[in-house]
Amino acid sequence: MSNDPAVEIRGLVKRYGPKTAVDGLDLTVRRASVTAVLGPNGAGKTTTVETCEGYLRPDAGTVRVLGLDPITQAPALRPRIGVMLQSGGVYSGARAVEMLRHMASLYADPLDVPALVDRLGLGSCGRTPYRRLSGGQQQRLALAMAVVGRPELVFLDEPTAGLDPQARRATWDLVRELRADGVGVVLTTHHMDEAEQLADEVAIVDAGKVVAHGSPELLCRGGAENTLRFTGRPSLDLASLLKALPDGTQAAELTAGVYRVTGDVDPQMLATVASWCAQNGVMPDSLTVERHTLEDVFLELTGKELRA
């Protein structure tokens, strides 16, 4: 049973009136891994996550979370998942620590509340009513509420939106620790660096479908070409270099003595270029690899226009 994927979504469709928010989405999330769901505004990230949390009934397709149907088996599922909504979820008059302690009291074996409060830096605002907390403090409280019940799997909808750099790093550390302790994490984000830093798997969603899925390294390598630049003597014979490199690789002299090789840049290619330089008596003054970032891949896949 614990070999089931943490989340398995097949052909999910969700419509709001005439608008199709999720349009045949497939996604599998392994247990105890971190999955980042990326996508432009309105891509269907929140809709997908909320379907997993049992808030929305799919119009078509199946969703299984920890092997359970989030709607018909909700009572069994709810204690096992932690939820951080994109916003809200707390009584406006409740104090931060009061609310966290309350959430803890709904579980049989919750985390130690004072330690969690410390950990997320909520101590100084522990007695402040929710409506007077800053946006970042509200986010951190919502995060604490998601993990306090010792869930097996947490869904975090934009957990670092509006956080300062310190709080963002504290959230990243927490996510890493959750994973190390065997908790699965599904998070949505608009920060590419966050996905690159944290995620075992990235799913890029656009217009209600997964358009790319894989580890950040794989996506950066596969989704777009990378480049290698080096400098040397002018007018080198690039044709002989290309012969030594895989098909599809391109090479050009940009300006006198500045060369660019475009293709699937991996350690093997680097070694080939270096040994070709050695054979030709070229001492590269500089040799840099420019890897595409997740952001390049994201923009390439989802286009550059603003979304409605």
Partner 1 sequence: MSAGTFTPRPAAAPVTRMIRAQTALETRMLLRNGEQLLLTVIIPALLLVLFSSVDILDTGAGKSVDFLAPGVLALAVMSTAFTGQAIATGFDRRYGVLKRLGASPLPRRALMAAKTLSVLLTEVLQVALLTVIALALGWSPHGNPLAVAALLLLGTAAFSGLGLLMAGTLKAEATLAAANLVFLLLLVGGGVIVPLDKFPDAVRSVLELLPISALSDGLREVLRNGAAMPWGDAAVLACWSVLGLGAAARFFRWE
User: Do 302 and 211 contact (CB within 8 A), yes or no?
Assistant: yes
Is the dihedral angle over the CA atoms 203, 204, 206, 209 positive or is it negative?
Answer: negative
- Using N-to-C axis directions, what is the helix angle for 135-147 and 165-180, rounded to 10°? 10
- Token pair 């979504």 is at which residue? 9
46 lies in the binding site for Mg ion (CB under 5 A): yes
Is the dihedral angle over the CA atoms 106, 111, 113, 119 positive or is it negative?
Answer: negative
- Token pair, residue 128, equals 């402040």
Q: How far is the CB of 235 from ligand ATP (least distance, A)?
A: 50
Nearer to partner 1, 85 or 236 (CB): 85
Helix (H) or strand (E) holding 19: strand 19-29
139 lies in the binding site for ligand ATP (CB under 6 A): no
Question: Total residues contacting partner 1 (rule CB under 8 A)?
Answer: 42
45 lies in the binding site for ligand ATP (CB under 6 A): yes
Between CA 123 and CA 144 the distance in angstroms is: 12
44 lies in the binding site for ligand ATP (CB under 6 A): yes
263 lies in the binding site for ligand ATP (CB under 6 A): no
Interacting partner of 91 out of partner 1, Mg ion, ligand ATP, none (Cβ under 5 to 8 A depending on kind): partner 1
Helix (H) or strand (E) holding 11: strand 7-16
Binding piece for partner 1, criterion CB under 8 A, among 22-30, 88-96, 212-220, 230-238 = 88-96
Helix (H) or strand (E) holding 157: strand 153-157
Contacting residue, 98, 200, 225, 264, with partner 1 by CB under 8 A: 98
Nearer to ligand ATP, 174 or 204 (CB): 204
Which positions from 183 through 202 interact with partner 1, judged by CB under 8 A?
183
CA distances from 85 to 45, 133, 139, 304 (A): 12, 17, 9, 28
19 lies in the binding site for ligand ATP (CB under 6 A): yes
Nearer to partner 1, 179 or 209 (CB): 179
Interacting partner of 238 out of Mg ion, ligand ATP, partner 1, none (Cβ under 5 to 8 A depending on kind): none
Point out which residues bind Mg ion (CB under 5 A).
45-46, 86
Point out which residues bind ligand ATP (CB under 6 A).
16, 19, 21, 39, 41-47, 86
